[in-house]
Amino acid sequence: MESEQQPGIFVAGFVLAAMAIIVTPITAIGIISAVRDKSTATATVATTANVSLKEFSITGDLAVPAGNVTLAITNAGSQVHNLALKNGAGTKNISSGQTDTLSLGTLAPGTYTLACLIPGHEAAGMHAELTVTAGAAQAASGSTGGAHDHNATTDYVALDKVMTDSILKFPATTKGQGNEPLAPKILADGTKEFDLTTEIVDWEVSPGKIVQAWAYNAMVPGPMIHTDVGDKVKLVVTNKLPMGTDVHVHGIEMPFEMDGVSPITQQLIAPNTTFTYSFTTDKAAVAMYHAHNHGDVQITNGLFGTFIVGAMALPAGRTISGVSIPTDVKVSQEIPMVLNDAGVIGLSLNGKSFPATQPYKAKVGDWIEIHYFNEGLQIHPMHQHRFPQLVIAKDGIALDQPYWVDTLTVAPGERYTVLMHPDAKGTWVWHCHILNHVESDTGAFGMLTAWIIE
Ligand SMILES: [Cu+2]
């Protein structure tokens, strides 16, 4: 049985699923028993269904005949997952690449919800319906789906309504906004001091979904820091987390003692203590600050923010792939776009999941500067409808040869700076093009927003 099945090839999924019923010995024996003795048909069927877990979906043999059901589970993802029947049995955590089995006992016909119980994973898409059908004969005739839940009984009209309704909720209001500019204290010698406090706070990722975010100054992403080239800077970090932390500024060249990597360059900032980072921002930079200690937990749960030094050089007066950039090109707005896909925050743009993502407004003819930052664990091909993006810098390093794209893949740790020059009015979606980062059977979610061009 294939573990990787996409909605687009669900017909192939049916065929594979049907083949699995024929060739999987335990299921085949079950079917034969059922045919011979109809009075005990359901009682004699034992089915082992293959289920695959990854970020962030559950796929596999999700329709089985009534009877004794066992799930043979493979974690095909890159993160730790588990699988449980809602309000029922579940596995231990399964590492990437490992397998486990889950015996569900005798299941009567009906639908049962399966989910990964790692915080944030269910909301990110790791839930699926297990359909238990009345008998083996029905399963063998083709209702054993496997292609992303879709089978002969799928209600496509209802799925259309779910998607339409979910999109019409945009933009939804939620409490809290990340990336608020952080004003520095100016010290006697001109040093700019930025004060950051780490703590666990309630954070509304999408309407009604409140998670325990690990935040700088109670927002996700943390406050936006902007300095000029040549500034002396202090970052004063007070830790109110239950564990130690440190702050690495990714993309600004640091003295060794300020690199934020405990226990190599400093001791951990213990709970209820403060540490000060002092450095000079002597080059233009598009950087991000984040925890380094247990980054897999602390960063993905929200401990990240943007740090811009000066401004990126613009390709003023140049012609790139036939497009002339005005000699007096002026940026009308500068936008941080922080990507995350894990932890309690999950698939998100600037700490929010669609429809709580922020819409952006501009006018025809504007030149907009966007900085992408990937603080997550996966790549995200960021696609802007209609308007190409002119990539002018990578990781805060201005490019000698800027280039136009309509989809820009941003890998973990990477930053890209692009210019966008809208030439038509309308509401134009802007989203990650890994389709299950934006859509599921429960509608649109995650890494989706839009430009409103007037
Ligand atoms: Cu994505």
Per-domain boundaries in the chain: 7-154, 185-453
Encoding tokens for residue 56? Answer: 């962030």
C-alpha span between 433 and 404 (Å, rounded): 17
C-alpha span between 180 and 302 (Å, rounded): 14
Residues 6+ apart with CB under 8 A from 250: 287, 288, 289, 290, 413
Quote the ligand 1 centre to 2 CA distance (angstroms).
23
Quote the ligand 1 centre to 363 CA distance (angstroms).
27
Quote the ligand 1 centre to 382 CA distance (angstroms).
8
Quote the ligand 1 centre to 437 CA distance (angstroms).
5
pLDDT at 37: 38
Quote the ligand 1 centre to 447 CA distance (angstroms).
6
pLDDT at 149: 58
pLDDT at 97: 79
Superfamily per CATH, domain 7-154? Cupredoxins -  blue copper proteins (2.60.40.420)
pLDDT at 352: 98
Which letter does DSSP use for residue 31 in this model? H
C-alpha span between 130 and 308 (Å, rounded): 48
Quote the ligand 1 centre to 161 CA distance (angstroms).
24
Quote the ligand 1 centre to 18 CA distance (angstroms).
32
Exposure string of 280-312, with b = 16+ CB inside 10 Å and e = fewer, is bbeebbbbbbbbbbbbeebbbbbbbbbbbbbbb
Quote the ligand 1 centre to 438 CA distance (angstroms).
8
Quote the ligand 1 centre to 151 CA distance (angstroms).
26
Instruction: Answer for the pair 205, 165: CB distance below 8 angstroms, yes or no.
Output: no
Quote the ligand 1 centre to 380 CA distance (angstroms).
4
Encoding tokens for residue 35? Answer: 């045919």
The ranges of the chain with pLDDT < 50 are: 1-43, 136-147
From residue 249, how far is each of 69, 104, 281, 378, 429 by CA, in Å? 50, 48, 11, 20, 31
Quote the ligand 1 centre to 37 CA distance (angstroms).
50
Quote the ligand 1 centre to 412 CA distance (angstroms).
11
Instruction: Answer for the pair 75, 95: CB distance below 8 angstroms, yes or no.
Output: yes
- The reply to whether 7-154 and 185-453 are identical in fold is yes
- Determine how β-strand 443-444 pairs with β-strand 333-342: unpaired
C-alpha span between 148 and 36 (Å, rounded): 32
Question: Which residue pairs from 290-296 have beta carbons closer than 8 angstroms and sit at least 24 positions apart in sequence?
Answer: 290/247, 290/248, 290/250, 290/375, 291/198, 291/214, 291/245, 291/246, 291/247, 291/248, 292/246, 292/247, 292/248, 292/260, 292/261, 292/262, 293/243, 293/244, 293/245, 293/246, 293/262, 293/268, 294/243, 296/377
C-alpha span between 218 and 40 (Å, rounded): 60
Reported as type and span, the H/E element at residue 18 is helix 10-23
Quote the ligand 1 centre to 229 CA distance (angstroms).
33
Q: 10 Å Cβ neighbour count for 69?
A: 23
Instruction: Answer for the pair 279, 233: CB distance below 8 angstroms, yes or no.
Output: yes
Quote the ligand 1 centre to 431 CA distance (angstroms).
8
The CATH class of the 185-453 domain is mainly beta
Quote the ligand 1 centre to 448 CA distance (angstroms).
9
Quote the ligand 1 centre to 325 CA distance (angstroms).
30
For residue 304, list its beta bridge partners. Answer: 290
Q: Give, rounded to a whole angstrom, the gap between the first and last alpha carbons of the chain.
A: 51
Per-residue model confidence as pLDDT tens digits over 64-94: 877 788 888 888 888 889 999 887 888 999 9
From residue 375, how far is each of 304, 357, 380, 411 by CA, in Å? 7, 17, 11, 9
pLDDT at 82: 92
C-alpha span between 297 and 303 (Å, rounded): 9
Compute φ and ψ for 237, nearest 5 degrees: -110, 120
Quote the ligand 1 centre to 351 CA distance (angstroms).
14
pLDDT at 172: 97
Cα dihedral sign for 18, 19, 24, 28?
positive
pLDDT at 69: 83
Instruction: Answer for the pair 260, 266: CB distance below 8 angstroms, yes or no.
Output: yes
Quote the ligand 1 centre to 125 CA distance (angstroms).
13
Quote the ligand 1 centre to 346 CA distance (angstroms).
11
C-alpha span between 430 and 100 (Å, rounded): 38
Quote the ligand 1 centre to 433 CA distance (angstroms).
6
pLDDT at 289: 98
Instruction: Answer for the pair 369, 335: CB distance below 8 angstroms, yes or no.
Output: yes
Q: What does the angle CA 169 – CA 429 – CA 203 come to, to the nearest 5 degrees?
A: 50
Instruction: Answer for the pair 112, 132: CB distance below 8 angstroms, yes or no.
Output: yes
Quote the ligand 1 centre to 369 CA distance (angstroms).
21
C-alpha span between 352 and 207 (Å, rounded): 9
Quote the ligand 1 centre to 88 CA distance (angstroms).
31
